[in-house]
Structure 1
Amino acid sequence: MSFAQFIQDAWNKQAKWLVVLRPLALLYRGGSVLNQKLYASGMKAAYTAPVPVMVIGNITVGGSGKTPLLIHLVNYLHSLNVRVGVISRGYGGKGPFPAYVDFESTPDMVGDEPCLIVQSTGAPMAVGANRQQSIELLLSRHELDLIISDDGLQHLALNRQLEWIVLDNNRGLGNEKILPEGYLREPKSRLNTATVIEHAAQPSSALNMHLEVAEPYLLNAIEGKVFNPQEAFYAVVGIGFPQRFYRTLESMGIQQFQCHEFPDHHDYEIDDLQFEDHQPIITTEKDAVKILPLLKQYPDFNREIWVVPVEAVLSPACYQVLHQQLAQLGLTLNEGQL
């Protein structure tokens, strides 16, 4: 087990020994507060884009469902003829940055989530640590009405007009402690400063979403194969919160699966997919974008790899708030589309 997996497991279990990391958490928090004050005072300059910027992020480490939400919002806005561009850090990509992401981009160059976003939306997208450079790259190629930032909630070098925070109720806020004692990037009070979207099957807030599972498909086309949930699977995942995927499998009626977890944004090798028998693999769309290039490198690999697609389903209140917020920014949407 890697250290990343070890500490993630401790966070999920709210292990008592995490208290020994409190001095590091205080240092982390102190650095964050200092950084905020430097930007607030103008000693550090923040970039303001010529078009509105919306950040979709979270205050926790690990998955919350923000990428499916972003994909849904981009497709929804496209249906209303809003010209949307997307930026991201491009975590896991080698660059060079800023990098423009298109259908030919590969996860090793631009990161796995950007590849998934572009494949799912066709939106103009650029990635890199310097968000200003990414935005300028997008605007040099496209006329845009809105830019959505995939994560970057804590990236104060970029001014933004809208912030949506996804709060996953399955995971919650853990012990509500700051990194590394807990998995919060910012204090719980940060939720009071943005639009919070509750990710839950049984939400308590009007602003909520859940993930709806579509029919699994084969990553490596094998003629005549039909998905059978009664089979035994190897659940291969490299995401921030793999337990959500396991719950999804159970909700699909899959009861026989062995968990094989890797760190978030894991760079897969063919050996990661090799097992002693021929049981099929089942994985997420985010993992699939990294596994697919391996299948092209190893055409003789014949184990079935099933992919479980999910789509964010938003409550009506989310669309109402979105329309109101964008109208305040001068973007008037067709209310009949709600």
Structure 2
Amino acid sequence: MCAMSQDNGQARWQAIWQSRSGVAPALLPLAWLYGRISSARRWLYIKGWKSIDQLPVPVIVVGNVVVGGAGKTPTVLALVLHLQSKGWRPGVVSRGYGRQGTLPLEVLPDTPASECGDEPALIRRQTGLPVFVARQRAQAARALLARHPEVNLIVCDDGLQHLALGRDLSIAVFDDRGVGNGWLLPAGLLREPWPAHEGSPFSPDLVLHQTSQLHPAHQASATSLPTFFAQRSLAPVAVNALGEQQALTTLAHAQPTAVAGIARPDAFFNMLKAAGLKPRHTTALPDHADSALYGDLLKHHKGTLICTEKDAVKLFELARSQGQTTAARTWAVPLVLQIDPAFFLAVDQHLEPHRRIRPSA
């Protein structure tokens, strides 16, 4: 009941943030206050009254200017693969939202998500790259560099508003919500004023707009900043907790129960339907849901389960602990992100001066 209540609350807020009618206008005084506090904080960094930690290697920050997941982690996964192909040796840092503890921690393949956060665990397991988490991203980065001196570039998963970490390239990611009603929190989706303008202090350098079309006619996050597009879709093959693979279309016959503990569960459910699956039930959990909620799912749903890769970080371990039968019926489907090649070209151009300075890259 608690999980359902939290999820319904998320859905209500998402609806409020898409419109300038209803409850949203009443929240504008709070949005104005939020904006003033945010601007004052930025001003302290601009004037040098708050220090910025500049690392000895290039730093790329991938984040949102809107609340809720907009595709940061899939972007990070695609980005580090590209960087490796160009000869860089990247490491990844994150706050590790929802983790226990605040001090720097290295994420290992068997680190529980409760200790490091869902996204860092997913990134470590998929890439094998060094991943560190800490409340202060600069602390995580310095701990990573001390442990892995071969790393010559840091990618920060989330952190556009974490101004204490110096960055050489920042990327703002949007999804099909765009900027919603265009208002700041709590009246709207925005964590900071938008549109941003090229050259403004702490303005993102690049914008990546993820949508169901590679080149949509309408650009909801319109800005003068260089903007690129990525098409999101589900992979044609799902994998279960035993590592077995099966065509997604084959799973359609099982009429699975679909589960998503992400910021916008309906986005995943709609993608499943677009891929030809008609789930018997859909279960929306809160973003970064507690493992106990996934355990309850396994107890009460005895048929096939299908989830996102992020959910699988917790759900697969629980499924395996309950035996081979449970593990065999618990599936995850990867997200495929088809990014405009021009985006990676722009990233390379931003990094080229740093490559000349650090020929070892």
**Would you say same fold, with TM above 0.5?**
yes
Q: Does 1:176 align with 2:188?
A: no
> Is residue 236–residue 283 contact of structure 1 (8 Å, CA) maintained in 2?
yes
How many residues align structurally?
331
Structure 2 CA distance for aligned equivalents of residues 136 and 32 of structure 1: 26
Deviates more, 1:119-128 or 1:299-308: 299-308
Write out aligned runs for 1:39-118 (5 A).
Answer: 39-95=45-101, 97-118=103-124
Write out aligned runs for 1:253-268 (5 A).
Answer: 253-268=276-291
C-alpha displacement at 1:271, in angstroms?
A: 1.0
> Is residue 5–residue 263 contact of structure 1 (8 Å, CA) maintained in 2?
no
> Letter of the aligned partner of 2:153 in structure 1?
L
C-alpha change, 1:44 and 1:315, in structure 2 (3 Å) is same
RMSD of equivalent CA atoms:
2.5
Q: Deviations over 1:272-299 (max 9, x none)?
A: 3343x63321110001001122224433
> Is residue 165–residue 191 contact of structure 1 (8 Å, CA) maintained in 2?
no
Structure 2 CA distance for aligned equivalents of residues 187 and 241 of structure 1: 22
SS of equivalent residue, structure 2 residue 337? strand
Q: Deviations over 1:37-67 (max 9, x none)?
A: 1111111111111111110111111121121
- Return the match for 1:272 from 297, 307, 318: 297
SS of equivalent residue, structure 1 residue 198? strand
> Is residue 56–residue 164 contact of structure 1 (8 Å, CA) maintained in 2?
yes
SS of equivalent residue, structure 2 residue 196? helix
Q: Deviations over 1:296-324 (max 9, x none)?
A: 44337737222111232211211211221
Partner of 1:293 in structure 2?
317
Partner of 2:222 in structure 1?
none
Structure 1 CA distance for aligned equivalents of residues 280 and 336 of structure 2: 23
Partner of 1:139 in structure 2?
145
> Is residue 72–residue 311 contact of structure 1 (8 Å, CA) maintained in 2?
no
C-alpha change, 1:274 and 1:332, in structure 2 (3 Å) is farther
- Return the match for 1:329 from 316, 337, 354: 354
C-alpha change, 1:4 and 1:241, in structure 2 (3 Å) is closer
Gaps of 5+ in 1: 334-338
> Is residue 241–residue 320 contact of structure 2 (8 Å, CA) maintained in 1?
no
Partner of 1:336 in structure 2?
none
SS of equivalent residue, structure 1 residue 23? helix
> Is residue 298–residue 319 contact of structure 2 (8 Å, CA) maintained in 1?
no
Structure 2 CA distance for aligned equivalents of residues 135 and 127 of structure 1: 8
Deviates more, 1:240-249 or 1:223-232: 223-232
Q: Deviations over 1:66-116 (max 9, x none)?
A: 211110111122223211011101101113521111212110000010010
> Letter of the aligned partner of 2:307 in structure 1?
T
Structure 1 CA distance for aligned equivalents of residues 196 and 68 of structure 2: 17
Deviates more, 1:6-15 or 1:106-115: 6-15
Write out aligned runs for 1:172-321 (5 A).
Answer: 172-190=178-196, 192=198, 193=203, 194-200=205-211, 201-204=213-216, 207-221=228-242, 227-269=250-292, 270-275=295-300, 278-299=302-323, 302=326, 304-321=329-346
Gaps of 5+ in 2: 220-226
Structure 1 CA distance for aligned equivalents of residues 129 and 244 of structure 2: 32
> Is residue 230–residue 256 contact of structure 1 (8 Å, CA) maintained in 2?
no
Partner of 1:166 in structure 2?
173
Q: Deviations over 1:173-222 (max 9, x none)?
A: 11111111111111112365320112121424872112342234343339
- Return the match for 1:126 from 122, 132, 148: 132
C-alpha displacement at 1:249, in angstroms?
A: 0.3
Deviates more, 1:154-163 or 1:231-240: 231-240
TM-score (norm 1): 0.90
Structure 1 CA distance for aligned equivalents of residues 246 and 210 of structure 2: 33
> Is residue 216–residue 306 contact of structure 1 (8 Å, CA) maintained in 2?
no
C-alpha displacement at 1:332, in angstroms?
A: 9.3
Structure 1 CA distance for aligned equivalents of residues 67 and 354 of structure 2: 30
- Return the match for 1:150 from 157, 162, 168: 157
